[in-house]
Amino acid sequence: MGNEAQTPGAAASVDFEQVQSTERFQELRKRHRSFVFPMAVAFLLWYFAYVLLADYAVGFMSTKVWGNINIGLILGLLQFVSTFAITGWYVSYSNRRLDPIAAEMRHDIEGHEFDQHGKPITGVQK
Amino acid sequence: MTLMVPAVNVADLKDTTLLNMGIFALFVAITMVIVIRASRNNKTAADYYAAGRSFTGPQNGTAIAGDYLSAASFLGITGAIAINGYDGFMYSIGFLVAWLVALLLVAELLRNTGKFTMADVLSFRLKQRPVRIVAAISTLAVCFFYLLAQMAGAGSLISLLLGISDWGGQALVIMVVGALMIMYVLIGGMKGTTWVQIIKAMLLITGAAVMTFWVLAIYGFNLSDLLGGAVETSKNPAVLNPGLQYGKSDTSKLDFMSLGLALVLGTAALPHVLMRFYTVPTAREARKSVVWSIWLIGIFYLFTLVLGYGAAALVGADTIKAAPGGVNSAAPLLAFHLGGPLLLGFISAVAFATILAVVAGLTITAAASFAHDIYANVIAKGTSDADTEVKVARRTVVVIGLLAIVGGIFANGQNVAFLVALAFAVAASANLPTIIYSLFWRRFTTQGALWSMYGGLGSAIVLIALSPVVSGTKTSMIPGANFAIFPLSNPGLVSIPLAFLLGWLGTVLDKKLENTKKQAEMEVRSLTGVGAEKAVNH
């Protein structure tokens, strides 16, 4: 066992440094990071703003808006809404912008290696 | 239905004992059959730890929800809202928003680079032995805290349902829960455990949905009227506002911040949640499973808001606090108020099942980490075969089961949501910085990982030991002593930033550079899925 996790099958003899330096991979990494980093910062800021308001602006949060429903409850429920929205946004972004490049690279690298070793590509189970 | 509040007579609950036991026994029988059937294909280590990576995204997402919606979510949060109003609601928001960290930064990348355990990813491009050891230690520590919370929940539930309030009786029931859990994990491995979690998640969400609908129907589907009912029963309009529990002093406000930080950063660092991502065949399915779990968990937490205020309105905080099981009994008492013994029996059986399934998930995670990280990679130095590894894992299951039983007997009586928050704080401090750094920071080194993990784990645990949770107040674990020199009951505010800082400091002060080949491999694999572990074909 041991380091088996690090070098399974087809990927063993790939020159990853070379792959890492390709333009296509750089583009994939850029697309991934330019989405997840700003988004992570945004939702964490929004969450901590909410926690700080609940902690130190009790009067504001207790302002009744409609019946017994106050600003605190509305902002709390908006946290749910924003979580669902970001989830949906990320899924559609990765389906459109990330998955195609990743799948293409995977096919190229694993397909290439399999050819080199004379093994069929169909041997990889999805 | 009337808005008057009929008293829930806690003594009546004893009459339903047989019914409760019957429903629970039925659940155990059905799940046991499924576990045995599911386990017939368990041959390899990948089968035992990762269910052959054969689950679909939606299945795994439901199982994750089953793992995550523990007794803490159901009993703890409902109870916290019923007693402390708005402040209890904050738990669910933190627990939910936290999933975005897992979705955006961790799940897919982890699925692409690891094999069985969290340590696979953390030690990928760093020095295997030291990093694996610390990752396994922190996995065991987090699982232990989480197990304590679940076992404490089991104790509360039992004392309510069977009216057993003596120490020996509760201990006996905790032993039964522990023994059942050991059986599930030994027989079923990850596959059996996953099926138990899927079934339990569906039962739990259905049960909560029925109760939510019922409570809302009483108030004419008007949330404002329900909140009004809660105010009326509690005679305290402040239940609708933040601050009832945490707004008392400057210290408690800081404690609230600390809790908020631990909740949002803890999820993506929980070893038993991370391990679930290995049960699906691809990163795409891992993403799908997070999306499913976010929806299920989010909807469930909206239910707990209604259930918590519903319990406050219909049962009343005083009745809940006076019941055996205290705060944690809000949801079962509400079920009894709404649907009588039958609904109580169903909800209690579901809560039991919840505890059983979560404990099973935690146990298999801890056992996998010990067998795969400590035994196979450190003690046997990679020379053992998969059969021996699984054998070691099975033995570890028994040991952890026994430890959980003993720990659970002693943790009885604390609010389970609160205990789980401590597990989140330990996970966020010990694991998250290293997970993030090793996935996104090229320069990160072994020394940085060790400083961050030992520093985060150590500071979190020491601060908990020196906090009011352990000593100094009436409700502490050791009420007689007072060595609580750290004022906050959740250590996250200090230990999480400290762990991030140590990881950075350890790296920039490290004169040795890590293998750039490994870094390239990890980065390429994490984003593209090249060479990721494939599903096992049977």
pLDDT, tens digit, for every residue of B465-497?
A: 888 877 777 777 777 778 888 888 889 999 999
Please, are residues A102 and B527 in contact by the beta-carbon 8 Å criterion?
yes
Q: Hunting for tokens 């505010």 — which residue is that?
A: B493
- With an 8 Å Cβ cutoff, are A62 and B241 in contact? yes
> A54 vs B523: CB contact, 8 Å cut-off?
no
Q: Determine the average pLDDT of the residues in B360-367.
A: 87
**Interchain CB distance below 8 Å, A1 and B376:** yes
Contact: A87, B260; criterion CB under 8 Å: no
Percent of residues, chain B, with pLDDT higher than 70: 92
pLDDT-based confidence at B334, cuts 50/70/90? very high
With a CB cutoff of 8 Å and minimum separation 6, the contacts of B341 are B15, B16, B19
Chain B positions in Cβ-Cβ contact with residue A122 (cut-off 8 Å): none
B377 touches chain A (CB under 8 A): yes
Nearest CA in chain A to B118: A5
Nearest to B257 by CA among B431, B492, B46: B492
Choose from A24, A28, A32, A55 for mutation: most chain B CBs within 10 A.
Answer: A55
Contact status of A13 with chain B (Cβ, < 8 Å): no
Q: Cα separation of B51 and B38, whole Å?
A: 9
User: Which residues share a beta bridge with A64?
Assistant: A70
- Enumerate the residues of chain B whose CB falls inside 8 A of the CB of residue A35: 104
A-facing residues of B in 417-476 (CB < 8 A) are 440
Q: Which of A39-43, B157-161, B170-174, B268-272 has the lowest mean pLDDT?
A: B157-161
> What are the pLDDT digits (tens) for B106-142?
988 988 887 788 888 888 888 888 999 999 999 999 9
Chain A residues with beta carbon closer than 8 angstroms to that of B105: 36, 40
Residue of B255, B530, B538 for testing the chain A interface, max A β-carbons within 10 Å: B530
In the structure encoding, which two tokens stand for residue B90, read together? 């904050």
Using a CB-CB distance cutoff of 8 angstroms, which residues of chain A are in contact with residue B94?
47, 51
Instruction: Please identify which residue in the block is written with the tokens 């680079």.
Output: B113
Per CB-CB distance under 8 Å, the chain B contacts of A62 are 240-242
Question: Which residues on adjacent β-strands are paired with residue B60?
Answer: none
Closest CA to B142 of B436, B499, B430, B468: B430
User: Going by C-beta distance under 8 Å and a sequence separation of 6 or more, which residues neighbour residue B425?
Assistant: B258, B262, B266, B460, B464, B490, B491, B492, B495, B496
pLDDT in tens, A54-113: 988 888 988 888 888 899 999 999 999 999 999 999 999 999 999 998 888 888 887 754
Average pLDDT for residues B149-156, to the nearest whole number? 75
Predicted pLDDT of residue A41: 96
The pLDDT, as a whole number, for residue B309 is: 93
Q: Find the mean pLDDT for residues B139-155.
A: 82
| Residues of B whose CB is below 8 A from A56 | 253
Interface check A44 vs B, CB under 8 A: yes
The predicted-structure confidence for B254-276, as pLDDT tens digits, reads as follows 988 998 999 899 988 999 888 88
From A29, which residue of chain B is nearest by alpha-carbon distance? B527
Q: With contacts defined as CB-CB under 8 Å, which chain B residues touch A61? A: 241-242
As a whole number of angstroms, the distance between CA B461 and CA B463 comes to 5
Distance from CA of B529 to the nearest CA of A (A): 7
Judged by CB atoms closer than 8 Å, whether chains meet at B528 and A102 is answered as yes
Q: Nearest by CB to A80, which of B86, B298, B527?
A: B298
Q: Which of A24-38, B47-61, B89-103 has the lowest mean pLDDT?
A: B47-61
Query: What would the pLDDT profile of B214-246 be if each residue is shown by its tens digit?
Result: 999 999 888 888 888 888 888 888 888 887 777
Name chain A contacts of B372, Cβ cutoff 8 Å: 1
Mean pLDDT for all residues in chain B:
84
- Which of the 8 DSSP states describes residue B6? P
User: Residues of A with CB below 8 A from B114's CB?
Assistant: 5
Which chain B residue is nearest to residue A41, measuring alpha carbons?
B101
Residue ranges per structural domain of chain A:
19-109
Question: What ipTM score was computed for the predicted complex, to two decimals?
Answer: 0.88
